[in-house]
Amino acid sequence: MTSPVIEAMGYRLIEENCSVYSDGPDATWSPADQKSYAKWQRKLGFGGADADGIPGRTSWNKLRVPAVYE
């Protein structure tokens, strides 16, 4: 999956100190995105299957990713 929203999410994760990126985020979903997002979920107190690195409504809303227009 490729979207500018993914890159914006990555920069928010960096701001929240939840980054495992070696070269920074880009618009393509990657294992680093999933691992970083799982770190964010754990920071919010989620665990187990709820911290799988796949965005859910609650964690996404709390991350406050800015709107991106193509």
Residue 70, pLDDT score: 64
Q: Which residues contact 11 (CB under 8 A, 6 or more apart)?
A: 25
Calculate mean pLDDT across residues 19-28. 95
Confidence of residue 28 (pLDDT cuts 50, 70, 90): very high
Cβ atoms of 28 and 2 closer than 8 Å: yes
* Distance of alpha carbon 11 from alpha carbon 40, whole angstroms: 12
Residue 19 has pLDDT above 70, yes or no: yes
Residue 68 has pLDDT above 90, yes or no: no
